[in-house]
Structure 1
Amino acid sequence: MAAPGLGAPPELPFDDPCADRERAGPRPRTAGGPAPGDDAGGLDVFLAGRVFMDMIFTGLPGLPPPGTELVTDGLGSAPGGIANIAVAMSRLGLRTGLATTVGDDMFGAYLWRTLSEQEGVDLTWSRRAGGWPTPVTVSMAYDSDRSMVTYARPLPPSADEPVTVPPHASTCFIDIDRPVPAWALAMRRQGSLVFADVGWDPTETWSTDVLDRLAAVDVFLPNAVEAMAYTRTRHPADALEALALRVPTVVVKQGARGAIAIDSTTGERAEAAALPVEALDTTGAGDVFAAGFVFGTLAGWPLLQRLRFANLCAGLSVRHYSGSLGAPCWGEIAAFGETTEVAPEILADYEFVVPYIPEAELGSGPDSVTRAQPTLK
């Protein structure tokens, strides 16, 4: 029975904020399978990894010193971890499959519904683990950056089984802070492109075993700090050169300084500036960047255009306090091109994107953008 005067708890909306996600412009067929958007079947990208319940505190002047308390006016919640990139890819119209495990608690139910019902991520390969708590990360955003605290229990043996039969997909995305999983190797043998990122090493030993795993990777997307630490170099450009000897395509993300890359398969080298916008929350920005780069790769764009589109997607995402739910839909990409937020000569660098924007979004104006909101704000 509900407490007197309180009534029933509110129903959270799970409406799709990107109704255009299946209508992005045509992309070419890749070696790994049918062309993205082809109704013959198959995914554009397949991922496997841990999903977290992200709780994002905003409006902080800094971190609270020991023994003190800060009161802030901003709190958001959104799927985190591998969900950051899964949501970003799905919002660009890529058919995205995800293998993960969530708990049977309240957080797990929210994550499952948000990913499947709101964001259109295919969870056929995912499961719910009874009696296991869903991992939680608290992100504290301040001064255009953030610090994080995570709670995560080991998966129960019954839920810690690898993907035994991977789906047919043009690409897959992995994290190489662990050995390359057998399902990714199998997908690569079948023609899928393997994209990889790497997380922060909490031990700060930066084992070179990670670099050895790049032999099974086609595209590597570390940030500058990670790239320099693993290659024992002092400058991002030097780290890029070292990594290019190990993997066909390397991108080093430099945050507000943009990104640099080498594609040894085409002989291209490129450098692209970040989108000049005010960053409110950088949570998940690297994952949104990766989603844009995957899309550009499937589109067959030159390296410079792939970098620019990835920077565009990441730049649009950091303008929101919402973690993974800050990833842009095509409607927001179109609306940004119709504003005066940046100079016309900067917008001109992104004209190549226009043919990929759904016709319904062109000319609709910034007021037409629908954005999924965090559960609290």
Structure 2
Amino acid sequence: MNHELLTIGRISVDIYPNDIGVDLEDVQSFGKYLGGSPSNVAVAAARHGRRTGVITRTGDDAFGTYLHRELRKFGVDDSFVTPVKEWPTAVTFCAIKPATDEFPLYFYGRFPTAPDLQIHAEELDLDAIRNARIFWSTVTGLCQEPSREAHLAAHEARDRDQLKIGQFTVLDLDYRPMFWASETEAREQVARILPHVTVAIGNDKECAVAVGAGTPDEQADRLLAAGVEIAVVKLGAEGVMAKTRTERVVSAPVPVETVNGLGAGDSFGGAFCHGLLSGWPLAQVLDFANAAGAIVASRLSCADAMPTPEEVTSLLAERGRLVSEFAGAGTSPEAVSEGAAS
């Protein structure tokens, strides 16, 4: 398959409560879902009609079988998902307490390692990675060997002049402190990858770990100085900002009633990739991604909750923010590429 988006990294079974607003110890029943940020991003982009795949590993167990089945159900290529006999498939529990804006995560089967951290560089299909229109990875994949060197090898395989051929390499600055010895270690590993990255996406804390504390503009400028072409800084209640060497755009938040804040960032990521591939102006890419993230925040699950393009454009229309580019008027990937590279 010629992938429009190929992701690498974490996959898990998400066990989410059916009882909303109570602590985990008081939950009576749960639902089971595909999870893991890079896997969710692949699902999100597939919902927008994109050809996607994920490079990851599961346990050689029933939960691994379930994750293969779910990926195929969502139209995500699972041919690069392989089993690890030594470690069980990771499972993630959460409590959902929207009234307090708390969605704590509890990771099981990730310590001392997890199957998706057992990706080996020598087993990568570098041609598939090289040819993907967008290659997506996360900082979490850098936290441990052999995944760390596999991620570096994958990034090094990408063309350094990507934008001229309509390609993007995205680093999700997704920083989870429980997977790292220190922020210093994480910053050192991010510094190894950034020269190979054309797009970096993160919130204030994640950007601070990557390039140091500062204002959103200062953090974006540091990412650009490190070689990134598009720096995306999430501003929380103020929306999201994207900056290139010639452009700065801000997308205001799309208000919804939050049910589960988990997964909104993955929906944002998949929709952001869809916008890049569609060749939309950066401002419209951000608006579309913002709305896609808001929709998932208003739903219970993550992968199962990823919206269709029609659902995203409908929400934007309701908010008076729908523009022609969302209806398919974007020209080519070079429309964004040239603006970022100039």
Structure 1-normalised TM-score?
Answer: 0.73
The aligned counterpart of 1:238 is 218
Deviation at 1:348, TM superposition (A): 3.2
The aligned counterpart of 2:33 is 78
Q: Distance in 2 between matches of 1:289 and 1:157?
A: 22
% identity of equivalent residues: 28
Deviation at 1:158, TM superposition (A): 12
Residue 260 (str. 1) matches residue 241 (str. 2): yes
Higher radius of gyration, 1 or 2: 1
Asked whether the equivalents of residues 102 and 128 of structure 1 are also in contact (C-alpha less than 8 Å), the reply is yes
Deviation at 1:242, TM superposition (A): 2.4
The aligned counterpart of 1:169 is 132
Cα deviations across residues 206-231 of structure 1 (Å, max 9, x unaligned)? 44312342111100001122113433
Q: 1:334 to 1:289 in 2, by over 3 A?
A: closer
Q: Distance in 1 between matches of 2:116 and 2:304?
A: 31
Q: In structure 2, the residue corresponding to 1:43 is in which secondary structure?
A: coil
The aligned counterpart of 1:184 is 155
Residue 215 (str. 1) matches residue 195 (str. 2): yes
Deviation at 1:156, TM superposition (A): 7.1
Residue 354 (str. 1) matches residue 327 (str. 2): yes
Q: In structure 1, the residue corresponding to 2:133 is in which secondary structure?
A: strand
Residue 136 (str. 1) matches residue 91 (str. 2): yes
The aligned counterpart of 1:303 is 282
Q: In structure 1, the residue corresponding to 2:77 is in which secondary structure?
A: coil
Q: 1:139 to 1:188 in 2, by over 3 A?
A: farther
Q: In structure 1, the residue corresponding to 2:44 is in which secondary structure?
A: helix
> Which 5+ residue runs of structure 2 have no aligned equivalent?
143-147, 331-342
Deviation at 1:322, TM superposition (A): 0.8
The aligned counterpart of 1:99 is 55
Among 140, 145, 149, the alignment partner of 2:106 is: 149
| 2:266 alignment partner AA | D
Select between 153-162 and 236-245 the one with higher mean Cα deviation. 153-162
Q: Distance in 2 between matches of 1:176 and 1:155?
A: 15
- How big is the alpha-carbon RMSD for the aligned residues of Structure 1 and Structure 2? 2.7
| 1:291 alignment partner AA | G
| 2:176 alignment partner AA | W
Q: Distance in 2 between matches of 1:323 and 1:110?
A: 16
Q: In structure 1, the residue corresponding to 2:4 is in which secondary structure?
A: strand
Asked whether the equivalents of residues 292 and 313 of structure 1 are also in contact (C-alpha less than 8 Å), the reply is yes
Instruction: Give matches, 1:10-89, under 5 Å.
Output: 42-57=2-17, 59-61=19-21, 63=23, 69-71=25-27, 75-81=30-36, 82-89=38-45
Among 256, 259, 284, the alignment partner of 1:280 is: 259
Q: 1:238 to 1:193 in 2, by over 3 A?
A: same
Q: 1:286 to 1:132 in 2, by over 3 A?
A: same
Q: Distance in 2 between matches of 1:242 and 1:156?
A: 33
Between Structure 1 and Structure 2, how many residues are aligned?
Answer: 303
Instruction: Give matches, 1:103-122, under 5 Å.
Output: 103-116=59-72, 118-122=73-77
Asked whether the equivalents of residues 141 and 281 of structure 1 are also in contact (C-alpha less than 8 Å), the reply is yes
Q: Distance in 2 between matches of 1:129 and 1:220?
A: 30
Kindly indicate whether structure 1 or structure 2 has the higher relative contact order, using CA contacts under 8 Å at least 6 residues apart: 1
Q: 1:134 to 1:262 in 2, by over 3 A?
A: same
The aligned counterpart of 1:195 is 170
> Which 5+ residue runs of structure 1 have no aligned equivalent?
1-40, 358-377
Cα deviations across residues 341-365 of structure 1 (Å, max 9, x unaligned)? x4xxx323444312379xxxxxxxx
Deviation at 1:317, TM superposition (A): 1.2
The aligned counterpart of 2:340 is none
| 2:206 alignment partner AA | E
Deviation at 1:308, TM superposition (A): 0.7
Asked whether the equivalents of residues 92 and 295 of structure 1 are also in contact (C-alpha less than 8 Å), the reply is yes
Residue 127 (str. 1) matches residue 82 (str. 2): yes
Select between 202-211 and 291-300 the one with higher mean Cα deviation. 202-211
Asked whether the equivalents of residues 206 and 230 of structure 1 are also in contact (C-alpha less than 8 Å), the reply is no
Asked whether the equivalents of residues 264 and 295 of structure 2 are also in contact (C-alpha less than 8 Å), the reply is no
Q: In structure 2, the residue corresponding to 1:172 is in which secondary structure?
A: strand
Asked whether the equivalents of residues 58 and 142 of structure 1 are also in contact (C-alpha less than 8 Å), the reply is no
Cα deviations across residues 303-351 of structure 1 (Å, max 9, x unaligned)? 211111110111111111012211112342355467xxx4xxx323444
Residue 293 (str. 1) matches residue 268 (str. 2): no
The aligned counterpart of 1:362 is none
